[in-house]
Amino acid sequence: MNCTVERKEIEEIRPTNILPQTSFWGRLKNEQGFEPCGFELTISKDALYNTNNSLENTYDDLLVLIRYIDPEHCFAYIPYGPKLEPNFENQGVFLEQLSETIRPHLPQNCIFIRYDLIWQNQWSVEDEYFDNNGDWMGPPQHKVQEFRVNYKTHNWNLKKSPGDILPKNTFFLDLENEEDDLLYNMRYNTRYNIRRAKKKGITTREYGIENISDWYKLYHETAIRHNMPLQDEAYFASIMKNQDDSKNGVKVKMLMADCEGEFLASMFLVLSNKRGIYLYGASSTGNKDRMASYALQWEAIKTAKKNGCTEYDMFGSAPNLNDSHPLHGVHIYKKGFGGDLFHRMGCWDYPYDQKAYDLYRIMEVKN
């Protein structure tokens, strides 16, 4: 297997649909304490797709975020990367090879590398993991997952992370459909609520950083209501300061829905290359009957389409319709817009320092 990596400036990372693999994301995370690093990855196609031509290579960019646990230890985190997706049976071998190849380019005190894999979950295409209603029940226990993913690897060193960071499950909408078809593909209740919002006087438009406090008021209210971890207002202001990164293929739009001068719902829509992403959303506790969030979501979908996006990522949902899942309500809301549910592999670790990794893992599980 031929695999090489070379350092590159994060501003040289090419535009991609995968927002967490953009220079925009690297700058954003730098303000949160991560150290972003860019790499150019070269890999032989036979390592990915079982071709017979080992001399044919493919190339891609890789954003790596270094996070220090304490002054003496750090780990490397790859958000939704690598983007190159091997056949199922080659995934472990590819990750092992990449981990060992990139190791000399990471800090010497890096104890493990964590891949937040965007790849399709291997167990989401197997009938036995679906119930009688056609709902995916999720992957098997971690040990079973690790046994399959480490197949053909030399070190059998890939571990399923204790938890996941970025959303593992999401709905994708095909924006190559016409607007009438997008509406037709929605559930009846969703179409009805979009029309009802208009009748109730809801208007939606884009706002700038001067309205960031209005956004944050709604966001804070939503986070408290759903017991979500809170970001501070400065974090969202930093997103808006980078809102037009056209050179690197990213644009940010803060959309807000109001009625008679009162903001009822808001969201951050990010356009990354050809994909629109519903990154953050918020809504007021009152006035639920005005359906502002439905009008806002429809406006975001239309905006992404008008800006040349071919797909729309709802960015997070429950894996199925199990009403005990904390994201059950979010799942029902997003499912109503007619997208296809997609399941990702989630976070996987490759330890470099096994003892230090085991200690960190225990600490992570406790927290």
* DSSP characters over 168-214: SEEEEEETTS-HHHHHHHS-HHHHHHHHHHHHTT-EEEEE-GGGHHH
Q: Please write the tens of the pLDDT for every residue from 264-314.
A: 999 999 999 999 999 999 998 877 778 999 999 999 999 999 999 999 999
User: What 3-state class would DSSP assign to 227?
Assistant: coil
Q: Please write the tens of the pLDDT for every residue from 10-40.
A: 999 999 999 999 999 999 999 889 999 999 9
Q: If you average pLDDT over residues 190-194, what whole number do you get? A: 96
Using CA atoms of 350, 351, 352, 358 in order, give the dihedral in degrees to the nearest 10: 170
Nearest-5° angle of CA 8, CA 13, CA 19?
140
Q: Please write the tens of the pLDDT for every residue from 225-262.
A: 878 888 899 999 989 887 777 778 999 999 999 998 89
pLDDT at 260: 87
Nearest-5° angle of CA 100, CA 102, CA 103?
65
Q: Is the predicted pLDDT of residue 1 greater than 70, yes or no?
A: no
Q: Give the total residue count for the chain.
A: 367
Cβ neighbours of residue 296 closer than 8 Å, sequence gap 6 or more: 204, 255, 256, 257, 265, 266, 267, 281
In CATH, the architecture of 3-168+344-366 is 3-Layer(aba) Sandwich (3.40)
Q: What is the pTM of this model?
A: 0.94
Parse the chain into domains and list their residue ranges.
3-168+344-366, 170-315
Average pLDDT, the chain: 93
Q: If you average pLDDT over residues 143-150, what whole number do you get? A: 96
Contact 250, 300 (CB under 8 A): no
**Range picked from 174-188, 212-226, 235-249 for highest mean pLDDT:** 174-188
Q: Which of 51, 35, 159 is nearest to 95 (CA)?
A: 159
Q: If you average pLDDT over residues 306-330, what whole number do you get? A: 91
268: buried, middle or exposed (CB in 10 Å: 19+, 13-18, 0-12)? Answer: buried
pLDDT at 175: 97
Q: Is the predicted pLDDT of residue 52 greater than 70, yes or no?
A: no
Q: Is the predicted pLDDT of residue 133 greater than 90, yes or no?
A: no
> Do the strands 169-174 and 311-313 form a parallel or antiparallel pair, or are they unpaired?
antiparallel
Q: Is the predicted pLDDT of residue 78 greater than 70, yes or no?
A: yes
Instruction: Concatenate the DSSP letters of all residues of 121-178 into one string.
Output: PGGGG-GGGB-TTS-B-----HHHHHHHHTTT-SS---EE-SS-SS-SEEEEEETTS-
pLDDT at 255: 97
Q: If you average pLDDT over residues 168-188, what whole number do you get? A: 96
- Of 62-76, 110-124, 194-208, 241-255, least confident by mean pLDDT is 241-255
**Torsion sign across C-alpha atoms 156, 162, 165, 169:** positive
Q: Is the predicted pLDDT of residue 102 greater than 70, yes or no?
A: yes
Q: Class for domain 170-315, per CATH?
A: alpha beta
Could you give phi then psi for residue 33, rounded to 5 degrees? 105, 0
Q: Which contiguous run of DSSP H or E holds residue 83?
A: none
Q: If you average pLDDT over residues 333-349, what whole number do you get? A: 96
pLDDT at 307: 95
Banded model confidence at residue 180, pLDDT cuts 50, 70, 90: very high
- Asked whether this chain's domains 3-168+344-366 and 170-315 adopt the same fold, the reply is yes
Q: If you average pLDDT over residues 52-69, what whole number do you get? A: 88
Q: Is the predicted pLDDT of residue 54 greater than 70, yes or no?
A: no
Cβ neighbours of residue 250 closer than 8 Å, sequence gap 6 or more: 15, 19, 22, 24, 242, 270, 271, 272, 273
